[in-house]
Amino acid sequence: MSEPTPTPTSSPVLTRPPLPAWADTLRQKYLAGEASVFVLYRNVFDRILVGDKPHGMVAFLADVLLKDNKQHIYELSADRGVRVLHGGTTEEKAEIYRHLEGKGLAGIFDALERRMRDKPSNALLIPYAGALFPATETQFLSLEERGAYTALHRWSLDDELSAQDNVVILITESLAEINPGLLANPRVAAIEVAMPDRAAREAAIRHYAPRMPPEQRQLLSDQTAGLRVIQLASIVASEGPQGLSEAQRNQLIGNLLAGTPNAAERATKLAAITAGMTPDEIRQLVDPTRSLPDAANPFDEMSEVVRKRKRELIEKECSGLIEFIEPRHGLEAVGGNEHIKTELLEIARLIRGGERARAPMGLLAVGPMGAGKTFVIKAFLKEAGLSGVALKNFRSKWVGSTEANLERVLSTVKAMGPIALVIDEGDRSFGNQGDGDGDGGTGSRVIARLKEFMSDPENRGQVLFILMTNRPDKLDTDIKRPGRLDRKIPFFYAESGAERAAIVTAILRRYGVKTDIAPAALETICATLDGYSNADLEAVALLAAEFAQRDDGESSTVGEALFARAVEDFLPPREITMLRYMEMLAVFETSRRSLLPERFRSLTPQQVQEQLAELRSALRR
């Protein structure tokens, strides 16, 4: 933005509120002459706090960033046409509207260009820019859309227009919505509007909940990473145009908690974070008959409520494309797999200790079906204190606006860091899907963007990718390289009776099943279960518990005879060749020989390749 000439009505530069980082970047790029057409993207539908007033994006640009620097500010949108936001008398504005009436998009661009040439120092703001400059092939554009695209492209390269202090700002949530021909233009600069950082979140909470105590405000700022300012307002606003006021929420929650420990203090804190909720929603959230996390500590309870509300808001924000993972057990609930647990505990230590440089970029969990990959990885997340989200069915759900949805998910995940992004059955998401022509190349662009995100060094220690699969041979080799998936952890079925007994014991403990089987007797029985997967062992243990309940009722105890009976009755699925093939794939992929069972450690790479070739031939037959 050009520096304004001081006038009696101008605000001194020193009194101007500090600009958000993205706005200062835009200003500096403009002053340096790098571009006169800008595209603002990502968090453009949020509120921007300036002093004690929140602004939408267009209002911020017009009333804060540009008002003192531009003689005229216009807004052009598909739904409202042209509006004069700043500059000119009432009569001049009316004349502009009359001059543009009925001219169509081409006439509007022509008229705006004439005004920018005749009267310098103009700004044109174009919200929802994808509606006017859609990301599609030129032959699919209407004649008006082609004219708009051509005009804007020509303006960006017109030195005369730039020299007359004119600027055009496009606003879109995703760059994928904008015609790529515009973005490829060296005189068009794209600037990301980032999600609020901790300082911005704390400022927003202070604005919307001015009476909140500092300790509570700081805790809330830490726990709301990934939320927009507008979402924070929906959680903490003390008063709003609709819904219950904070005093009404306090009274309702106080009545619900009457007779419980610290009821008044708990009600005050919970009332501060339940803005925008209906009475029924509050009753479901604050049910005094339900066990709450450490009700004696109001901050623990508040954290739990904030976590639930954050989860709801982010899952809604991402249109159901991600799902939060909430593991109930840590690695102590995992039986056997000692070498894997040791490896994961070390990674958890690095993450908890903030040692970002040593933390892996990603993990690849490989091994045959039923080997416990999903359960162990979830237990690892709890052990590491990492939030986890699962990427859901993005190939089938992202129809039409695939890339835009992906960008929304990735920006949200990055803002929530440190976090783990988990993709189960990774071969289906990243595997060879043909030449990509069937979806117009969308699938290949999605995979390319995910690869780029996975290898971004800024994500190390902040976003941990975890890919799980039993068919790593179907994965693109480029996905598996170091710098994307640094650690490759192989999972195998238990090798000995002792390992299987440890798994069965952990399963019975996890499900709260009582047992009086002597450890030696359990180990003896389990020694006969060669080739049983973790899933098979769980099925046997639960079958024994079912037998015990039938015989003894609710006070049932699994004894040696009942467990042996369950073993005899259970028929595990048997696809021996395929399971052996998956085992050898895990051996082939592992990044460390010490993670392999003894029977595989002495194999040379050549021997592994030969066994894989034999198994492939057997499967084809």
- Please check the confidence at residue 329 and state whether its pLDDT lies above 80: yes
Secondary structure (3-state) at 282: helix
Same domain, 31 and 172: yes
Instruction: Tell me the whole-structure pTM to 2 decimals.
Output: 0.78
For the CA atoms of 462, 423, 322, 198, the dihedral, rounded to the nearest 10 degrees, stands at 0
Handedness of CA 310, 316, 317, 319 (dihedral sign): positive
Picking from 173, 193, 213, the residue at the C-terminal end of a domain is: 193
Whether the predicted pLDDT of 81 surpasses 90? no
**For residue 293, what are the contacts with CB-CB under 8 A and spacing of at least 6?**
300, 301, 303, 304
pLDDT in tens, 379-432: 999 988 888 999 876 554 444 467 777 888 888 888 888 889 998 887 776 765
Read off the amino acid at residue 305. V
pLDDT tens per residue across span 478-515: 888 888 998 999 999 998 999 999 999 999 998 989 99
**More confident position, 88 or 295:** 88
For residue 75, what are the β-bridge partners? 83, 125
- Mean pLDDT estimate for the chain: 85
Is residue 139 pLDDT above 80, yes or no?
A: no
Give the sign of the dihedral formed by CA 390, CA 394, CA 398, CA 403: positive
Query: Highest-confidence range of 33-42, 172-181, 351-360, 444-453, by mean pLDDT?
Result: 33-42
More confident call, 446 vs 388? 388
Give a yes or no: residue 91 inside a domain.
yes
Return the HEC string of 23-87.
HHHHHHHHHCCCCCEEEEEECCCCCEEECCEEECHHHHHHHHHCCCCCCEEEEEECCCEEEEEEC
Looking at mean pLDDT, say which of 95-109, 172-186, 313-327, 424-438 comes out highest: 172-186
Is the same domain home to 185 and 206?
A: no
> Sorting pLDDT into bands at 50, 70 and 90, what band is 12?
very low
Domain match, 105 and 205 both: no
Tokens matching residue 53: 């007033």
Residue at 147 is within a domain: yes
Distance, in Å, from the CA atom of 475 to the CA atom of 220, rounded to the nearest integer, reads 40
523 with 578, same domain? yes
Within this chain, do residues 164 and 305 fall inside the same structural domain, yes or no? no
**Range name among 14-28, 176-190, 478-492 with the lowest pLDDT average:** 14-28
Each residue's pLDDT tens digit, 67-79: 888 999 999 998 8
Whether 52 has a pLDDT exceeding 90, the answer reads no
The string of pLDDT tens digits covering residues 520-535 is 999 999 999 998 999 9
Residue ending a domain, choose from 314, 340, 355: 314
Judge if 555 and 420 occupy the same domain.
no
Residues 73 and 132 in one domain: yes
Please indicate, yes or no, whether residues 58 and 118 belong to a single structural domain of this protein. yes
Q: Which domain holds residue 185?
A: 17-193
Q: Which residues contact 156 (CB under 8 A, 6 or more apart)?
A: 35, 36, 37, 168, 182, 185, 187, 188
Residues 103/107/111/114 CA torsion (nearest 10 deg): -150
d(CA 477, CA 220) in angstroms, rounded, equals 42
Question: In terms of Cα–Cα distance, which of 174, 169, 107 is closest to 135?
Answer: 174
> Is the pLDDT score of 434 beyond 60?
no
pLDDT tens track for 216-269: 889 899 989 999 999 998 888 766 556 688 888 888 888 888 888 778 888 888
Domain of 460, CATH number, reads 3.40.50.300
Cβ–Cβ under 8 Å, residues 216 and 272: yes
- The answer, yes or no, to whether residue 21 has pLDDT greater than 90, is yes
Residue 204 lies in a domain: yes
Name the residue with tokens 């994006």: 57
Range with the poorest average pLDDT among 251-255, 300-304, 471-475: 300-304
Is residue 11 predicted with pLDDT exceeding 50? no
Least confident of 25-29, 69-73, 138-142, 408-412: 138-142
Same domain, 232 and 129: no
Is residue 439, in this structure, part of any structural domain at all? yes
**One-letter-per-residue 3-state SS of 331-346:** HHHCCCCHHHHHHHHH
Q: What is the pLDDT of residue 193?
A: 95
Does some domain include residue 3? Answer: no
How far apart CA 621 and CA 224 sit, in angstroms, is 55
Give residue 493's pLDDT.
92
165, 193, 221 - which closes a domain: 193
Please compute the mean of the pLDDT values over residues 596-612 and round it to a whole number: 92
User: Which amino acid is present at 574?
Assistant: R
pLDDT beyond 90 at 55: yes
Q: Which pLDDT score is estimated for 341?
A: 87
Q: What is the pLDDT of residue 10?
A: 41
pLDDT > 90 fraction of the chain, expressed in percent and rounded: 40
Query: Would you say residue 356 has pLDDT above 50?
Result: yes
Q: Does 256 lie in the same domain as 181?
A: no
Q: In this predicted structure, what is the pLDDT of residue 394?
A: 57
Banded pLDDT at 9 (limits 50, 70, 90)? very low
Write out the DSSP string of 246-277: HHHHHHHHHHHTTTSTTHHHHHHHHHTT-TT-
Q: Which residues partner with 169 through β-bridges?
A: 38, 125
Q: State the pLDDT confidence band at 299, using cuts at 50, 70 and 90.
A: low
541 pLDDT above the threshold of 90: yes
Q: Is 180 in the same domain as 252?
A: no
d(CA 588, CA 382): 29
232 Cβ neighbours under 8 A, 6+ residues apart: 196, 201, 204, 205, 208, 224
Cα distance between residue 379 and residue 516, in whole Å = 27
Q: Quote the tokens at residue 508.
A: 């019975």
- Residue, of 283 and 397, whose pLDDT is higher: 283
For the segment 317-338, the average pLDDT, to the nearest whole number, is 83
Cβ(229)–Cβ(45) under 8 Å?
no
* 485 inside domain: yes
Residues 222, 180 share a domain: no
N-to-C CA span, the chain = 71
Predicted pLDDT of residue 441: 63
3-state secondary structure of 477: helix
Residue 35's pLDDT band, with cuts at 50, 70 and 90, is very high
Rounded percentage of the chain residues whose pLDDT exceeds 70: 89
pLDDT band at residue 613, thresholds of 50, 70 and 90? Answer: very high
Strand ranges across the sheet with 362-366: 322-325, 387-391, 419-423, 463-469, 362-366, 487-490
| Total of domains in the chain | 4
- Residue 258 counted as domain residue: yes
At 82-123, the pLDDT tens digits run 889 998 777 777 777 777 766 778 888 888 999 899 989 999
**Token pair 């904008």: residue:** 178
Residue 222's contacts (CB-CB under 8 Å, 6 or more residues apart) are 198
> What pLDDT, on a 0 to 100 scale, did the predictor assign at position 532?
92
Average pLDDT over residues 355-374: 89
- Could you list the beta-strand ranges (E) of 282-418: 322-325, 362-366, 387-391
On whether residue 85 sits in a domain, the answer given is yes
Give the whole-angstrom CA distance, residue 178 versus residue 152: 12
Averaged pLDDT, 291-315? 71
